[in-house]
Amino acid sequence: MRADFKQESFDEGCFNRIFKGLSFEGIGLKLARVKKIVEVEQIENYKKPLLMLLLEDETILHIEFMNDKIKPNIESMMIYDVYIRIKYGIQVTTVILYSGSEQKEKLKIDSGSIHYEAQIICLSEFNGQEIYSEIEGKIHSGSMLSDIDKLKLIFLPFMYHSLLLGEALSKVLLLIEALNEEEERLAYLTVITEVVSRFTGNKGIDVVKEYLMDTEVGLRIKDAGVKEGMRNSLLIILLHKFDSLPDNLYFAITNQQNENILMEWLRKVSGINTIDELKKMVFSRNRIKE
């Protein structure tokens, strides 16, 4: 899983801000509270898990999403769960959050001595209209949202509504925009965007893009995503060249927020052959104390 020394990405920071400390008991899962999001290494030929959360009891909650048209690859799910169990000795609980109309209880593999199953939580069984009204009342009255409220707000568009998904999603986005704290709004909108894309594929993403277009929070998300991509590209190139980087160089790159400087480094990096040359490029241009 992701090494602790690696600086968390923009998306990881948003997920940790929203999920850290939350319990999933509000949607029927009696598990420990969330400690942080984790990332597992890519296993060749198998699709990576959609969401892995380290819980406070040092177990992993593996979450996949499913609706009537999009179904997770249960073989890939099983491979990753077994990999984590064998390599790290960590117990994994796998849950599928389902937004479809049919009633489902479990998804499983039974083949000889192999038995693997994932629990299914049907979000469509929750009355999204009532939950929306409750959360809306709290937000507009200035009341604190409970942990259950915060968890349900994330998955609210996929609960039961008399509205179409796009309409329900638009209402939820407006509700999030009413939150008082800017950083909290930014985190929720980022997480909701990711959850929508994972739940529905392209369906629903246009609603999010249209809402975020030209808004301050939308521009911040776009700006952070562009810079993160540039920083990641730099690190991939440099780690391929040098295998490892001194801490001062690593953090100078990951903390750089100026898009023009990042672009300049990307243009020059192919001609960098030594750590000393890299230091000269990073520290002389940015005047950072080594």
Question: In this predicted model, which residue has the larger pLDDT, 266 or 279?
Answer: 279
What CA–CA distance (Å, rounded) separates 55 from 58? 5
Query: Same domain, yes or no, for 119 and 224?
Result: no
Domain-ending residue, one of 90, 125, 160: 125
Domain-ending residue, one of 125, 160, 194: 125
What's the CA dihedral at 16, 243, 40, 205 to 10 degrees? 60
Calculate the average pLDDT of the chain: 82
pTM, two decimal places = 0.70
pLDDT (0 to 100) of residue 54 = 96
Task: Kindly indicate the confidence band of residue 204, based on its pLDDT and cuts at 50, 70 and 90.
Answer: low
Query: Same domain, yes or no, for 118 and 230?
Result: no
What CA–CA distance (Å, rounded) separates 142 from 15? 23
Its domain, for residue 240, covers 220-286
Task: Kindly indicate the confidence band of residue 287, based on its pLDDT and cuts at 50, 70 and 90.
Answer: very low
Tokens 């994932």 locate to: 118
In a domain, 241, yes or no: yes
Q: Which residues pair with 118 in a beta bridge?
A: 107
In a domain, 11, yes or no: yes
In a domain, 202, yes or no: no
In a domain, 159, yes or no: no
pLDDT (0 to 100) of residue 224 = 60
CA distances from 148 to 22, 159, 160, 258 (A): 8, 14, 17, 38
In a domain, 69, yes or no: yes
Domain-ending residue, one of 97, 125, 153: 125
Q: Of 94, 150, 98, nearest to 121 (Cα)?
A: 98
- The total number of structural domains that make up the chain: 2
